[in-house]
Structure 1
Amino acid sequence: MKIKVLFLVIILGNLGYAQYDFEQIDVWSGSNGGSAKYLTQYNGAMYFQAAEITPSFKKLYKTDGTLSGTVQVATNLNAGAGYSPESFTVFNGQLFFTAQVSGLGIELYKTDGTEAGTLLVKDIRAGSSNGLDQNTNNDKQLFVEFNGELYFRGSTNSSIELWKTDGTETGTVSVKNFEATQTGAPVYVTNNEREYLGVVFNNELYFVVNRSGDYELWKTDGSTTGTVIVRNGFSNISNLIVFNNQLFFSATDVGSGNEIWVSDGTSIGTQLKHDIFPNNLNPSLGLGSSPDDFIIFNNEMFFTARGYDDLNNNVIGRELYKTDGALSSLVKNINTTISGSNVERSGLSMPKFKIFNNQLYFIANNDVNGTYGLWVTNGTESGTVEVVSPNDTGVSFQFLNATEYNNALFYFNNQQLWVTNGTLSGTKILTDINGVNSDILQAQLGTLINFSNKLWFEGLSNSNGSELTSLVDNTLSNVKVEGFLEVKLYPNPSKSIINISGNSEIYNIKVFNCLGQKVGETSGRTIDVSSLPIGQYVVKFQTNGGALTKKIIKI
């Protein structure tokens, strides 16, 4: 295992002076790559899955952000072999996860961060069959915490049931068996492309049960007798979210198609809330508005849906809507292009909503600027605008896993790491598949996490393969620069000594080669390059007025 400092990425523009340093912790030494996944903070450390020896030997690791502080947590959980830890969840002062151990299948485990404290909670399904769900793509939230316990789907020999645990073997029990069906009871619901088990509302856990295609809304207080049906008769339920002291969700019934419903927890209080696409407008064009992607922003709930323009007799494609809990309205019709049969194309097929700097960011296609661009809204039609066009960046926006770090949004796009502050000049690619501007060739789609003042993800480099990678922002963006920073270097180029002059007090000087490796450091007023190979170097100055970068040449 080794750590490697990689190439510096320097950006000039509306981000100000921005410099990003990459580092990789080489968990599986060499170019094979440990493929660090599921990065999760717990008890002052970051836990993750990584491979060693062979790709199938996936084990639990933790790091404090340093090489020496990166260690395996449980080396012998599966007699030295891998056990594929997944679905990390912090609960009751411990880290819970699933693992696949020989002879047991996928079961529930917990750790306190030590070898001795990494234990099987309970073998829910006897033998080698799985007791819990596999979650390799990390697209499911397997666990939901409610009333001091963790709830999850557990599978016995005969059924899929609702289970709960307090973290002990005796306290890990089945809450209810839903008529011994293997087709999914309860089932995961989806919102903003993330699957989850349920939500807590009015001190009860609400979830969905599917029995032979009949989707039912259920609730539980944690007891078997207190686990009851709220309402049935739906062919689909999704987007469960608590808003305005009610439970909102999307559901499909025979009369209305797929629309927005609301519940107060009773059968009579579970009613159709917003019929955005009434069937009597044009039944031949299908039923319902198919609302999706619910998110709460500025005391309103925003979502995507299709609608109807009765003035022009057109179906409005999937666009941005909002509700205050009483009335719903179209925020803006972004794509008005007719694709045929009086149906407009959709502007928001995959919005990827993200709240940042008190605005709601998303991606949309207006059929004017190519494919998907970056948009922002403050909740009004005039305040819903495209801030970065795909024609400006040369690529369509995917805006995957957008994460805030140092007052900017970092996200994945076509296996590359990008950054934006919501402006064109502040939107840049940081990784480089050609290895010219960065030694990090790709950012593998997965977790982006802010830990120990760095942004962590799984990055691919030629030298290390796919490994645990960090990005540190050396911008010093919180430093107020007073006056103009001026630093002069002379002679430049030089064979030996380069002198420094300027109007700022210099605290520290670091010299980096073209690979991003630090090759020198001083706090004086000269730089000695006599021992360096001929070539170009980057000098980073830390001064009382901020940060500054200069180039020098050794001849």
Structure 2
Amino acid sequence: MATVAEDSREVTAQACPPGVASPVATLQPAGQVDVMTEFTNVQGTLFFVTSTYSTGSVLWRSDGTAAGTVKVKSFPGPPGVYQPQHLVAVGNTLFFQVRTDTTGMELWRSDGTPGGTRLVKDITPGAQGSVLTNATELDGRLVFFRWVPLPGGLAGPELWRSDGTAAGTLRVRTFNGMTGLGNYTMKVDNALLFFFSEDTGTTLWRTDGTLAGTTSVKRLDAGLTYLTEVSRPGEQPVFILEDGPNYEVWKTNGTAAGTLRLDSFGKRVSLLGTLGSHVYLASLDSPATRRLRIDRLSLSGGGKTGITTLPNPYASDERAYPAVRTAVVSGGDLYFEVDIVNDDPVPADVSLWATNGTAAGTRQLFDNPYVEYGYYYPLFATGSGQVLFGGTSQPIGPTFPYFTRGSTATQGRLADVSSPNSFIRVGNRIFFTGIAATGDGQLWSVPATFSCPPGLTEARE
């Protein structure tokens, strides 16, 4: 297994000229910018949420124009308490959860108009509210779990579905006092896969949103194990189970015969993603050196293969160790961000890497050695060969949107707007939020396929 050279190439930036990416609309005036999140594509219309502690939260919609970027409904109250969250698109309807003083936290829907933005059903009548999780679109309906109190102070899940009407929002089934529903779910074709980890065993389940179609698929372990991670939507369904000191990597197609353990690691591993016929994983090589090791597993079996080990420039600090922040697949490469975690509230470093599955093809693209609290480091594959990310070339200051095509020679700053967040593709454009030089919170967009001229060695300040 090879080791990446310790002296990564210095990153040079090339800046897109004005107009490639452009502001769509101002969402929050200077001094009131707080949260701009929950980007959701509803059949070509962008929905998102802005929040401030002084004015509350707002649900927006946008068709990509200034005139077509409008407030749908305002929700007074502090963010995180009365803020629309868990936005899910089902056909031309947006589902979300929001808390009001009358109903508590409950399920809402919106068609993009103020009158069409309303409570679906007060599932738990009164101000107490409901605990709803894992909301997912499934065959034209919303499927979710509702947690109900059980004796002994525990809570157990119920499976529900909704067509957006009160009458069509109903319980599909209960699970006989089982409490160990995992936090992660996966979609395979028209089925939702979920996991129960109980003292009596760990089991994979599936549902199509009906009682008859909600069944146990396979018992994965005779004892209690914990689901730690699942693959991203659109990739080969892979998941990791923590079984004592071992971390088991599994694949599934939603059937008993197609749910197989690929291999086991005697230490914590995290998913990077799949390329071709292999799944790639990251782990610490040893407690002493604290470097990030990359391995791959064949999806058809055959054991693990070590690919490379990344350098840790902070290895002299016994508190500092690397951890994968997020990863995406673009073309024939896996792009992933690595945090150097320590005892501080923020990482010591956030770096962007890419790999094609070989040691020679594993390279560092960008480095943020001066991480500050409150800044974002998003990572997004455009689907057009380019990857967008947040970074900065300055020792002190906010992050900016950057692009890369997989090398330091083909990347640079995308636009002069700081703190980019929540990249999303809607049709042929990419949308994101950021803070203008004036301090205003803005919605921006850029064509999904864009080309910026080379030759600019420094991004504009």
Match of 2:382 among 404, 409, 412: 404
Q: CA deviation at 1:364?
A: 5.0
Cα distance in 1 for partners of 2:41, 2:251 equals 35
Cα distance, 1:173–1:315 mapped onto 2, change above 3 Å: farther
Partner Cα distance (1:187, 1:110) in 2: 26
User: Counterpart of 1:423?
Assistant: 407
Deviations 1:207-263 (A, max 9, x none): 022446965432334344553443242321233349999853211335x72221345
> 1:144·1:198 contact (CA, 8 Å) conserved in 2?
no
1:36 aligned residue: 36
- Which amino acid in the other structure matches residue 186 of structure 1? L
Change (3 A) 1:371 1:99: closer
Partner of 1:330: 306
- Report the counterpart of residue 170 of structure 1 in structure 2: 167
Say which SS state the counterpart of residue 230 (structure 2) adopts.
Answer: strand
* Of 422-431 and 41-50, the range deviating more from structure 2: 422-431
Question: Size of the alignment, in residue pairs?
Answer: 413
Q: Cα deviation per residue 1:288-315 (whole Å; 9 max; x = unaligned)?
A: 232322512223222223568xxxx999
**Partners in 1 of 2:213 and 2:445 — Cα distance?**
48
Report the equivalent of 1:274. 263
Q: Which residue number corresponds to residue 149 of structure 1?
A: 141
CA 1:316/1:129 → structure 2, altered by over 3 Å: closer, same or farther?
same
- Residues 85 and 97, structure 2, Cα contact 8 Å, conserved in 1: yes
Q: Alpha-carbon deviations, 1:501-527, whole Å to 9, x = none?
A: xxxxxxxxxxxxxx99xxxxxxxxxxx
User: Equivalent residue for 1:161?
Assistant: 158
Residue of structure 1 in register with 2:7 after alignment: none
Q: Residues 160-210 of structure 1: CA distance to partner in whole angstroms, max 9, x if unpaired?
A: 3222223332332223323446xx552312xxxxxxx33326x54320224
Map of 1:547 onto structure 2? none
1:259 to 2:248 alignment: yes
* Pair 1:218-2:205 in alignment: yes
Alignment of 1:324-363 (within 5 A): 324-325=298-299, 326-327=301-302, 328-335=304-311, 349-350=323-324, 352-363=326-337
Q: Could you list the runs of 4 or more consecutive aligned residues of structure 1 that deviate by over 6 angstroms after TM superposition?
A: 242-246, 266-269, 313-316, 336-340, 473-476
Amino acid at match of 2:419: A
Letter in 2 for 1:143: A
Query: What secondary structure sits across from 2:294 in the alignment?
Result: strand
Structure 2: gaps (5+ residues): 1-11, 151-155, 341-347, 393-397, 455-459
Hey, what's the Cα distance between the residues in 1 that align with 2:111 and 2:335?
38
Q: Which 5+ residue runs of structure 1 have no aligned equivalent?
A: 1-12, 135-141, 190-196, 278-287, 432-437, 482-514, 517-555
8 A contact 1:405–1:455 mirrored in 2:
no
| Higher RCO, Cα 8 Å, sep 6+ | 2
Q: What are the superposed Cα offsets for residues 71-93 of structure 1, whole Å, 9 maximum, x if unpaired? A: 22246999xxx952222211132
Q: CA deviation at 1:38?
A: 1.6
User: What SS does the aligned partner of 2:433 have?
Assistant: strand
- TM-superposition CA deviations, 1:12-65 (whole Å, max 9, x none): x8858643555363345564247432222324432222358x635313221223
Q: What TM-score do the two structures reach when normalised by structure 1?
A: 0.61
Structure 1 residue 411 displacement after superposition: 1.5
Higher Rg: 1
CA contact (8 A) 2:109 2:118 kept: yes
> Kindly tell me: are residues 26 and 291 of structure 1, through their superposed partners in 2, closer, same or farther at Cα, counting changes over 3 Å?
same
RMSD: 4.5
Q: Distance in 2 between the 1:296 and 1:227 partners? A: 28
1:234 has 2:210 as partner: no
Confirm or deny: 8 A CA contact 2:137 2:143 kept in the other structure: yes
Counterpart contact for 1:17–1:475, Cα < 8 Å: no
| Alpha carbons of structure 1 residues 475 and 352: separation in structure 2 relative to 1, 3 Å | closer
Percent of paired sites with the same residue = 21
Residue in 2 aligned with 1:470? 444
Whole-angstrom distance in 2 between the partners of 1:149 and 1:75? 26
1:259–1:106 Cα change, 3 Å: same
Instruction: Indicate if the aligned counterparts of 2:236 and 2:274 stay in contact, CA closer than 8 A.
Output: no
Query: Residues 372-415 of structure 1: CA distance to partner in whole angstroms, max 9, x if unpaired?
Result: 54332222222223344x3xx76579853334387543222475
Code of the residue aligned with 1:65 in structure 2: it is: G
Counterpart of 2:248, as a letter, is: E
Q: Verify the 8 A CA contact 1:95 1:112 in the aligned structure 2.
A: yes
2:187 pairs, out of 199, 202, 216, with 199
CA 307–41 in structure 1, closer or farther in 2 if over 3 Å, else same: same
Give the letter aligned to residue 137 of structure 2.
Answer: E
For 1:25 and 1:70, locate their aligned partners in 2 and report how far apart those are by CA, in whole Å. Answer: 7
- Once the two structures are TM-superposed, the CA of residue 358 in structure 1 deviates from its matched residue by 2.8
Counterpart residue type for residue 193 of structure 2: Y
Task: Find the counterpart in structure 1 of residue 395 from structure 2.
Answer: none
> 364, 368, 381: which one pairs with 1:386?
364
CA distance in 2, matches of 1:476, 1:401: 17
CA gap of 1:148–1:26, structure 2 versus 1, over 3 A, is closer
**Residue 183 of structure 2 corresponds to which residue in structure 1?**
188
Task: Quote how far apart the aligned CAs of 1:267 are.
Answer: 6.6
Contact 1:75–1:115 (8 Å) recurs in 2: no
Deviations 1:457-496 (A, max 9, x none): 332346454x2331547997399x9xxxxxxxxxxxxxxx
Q: Tell me, yes or no, if the aligned pair for 2:378 and 2:390 is still in contact at 8 Å.
A: yes
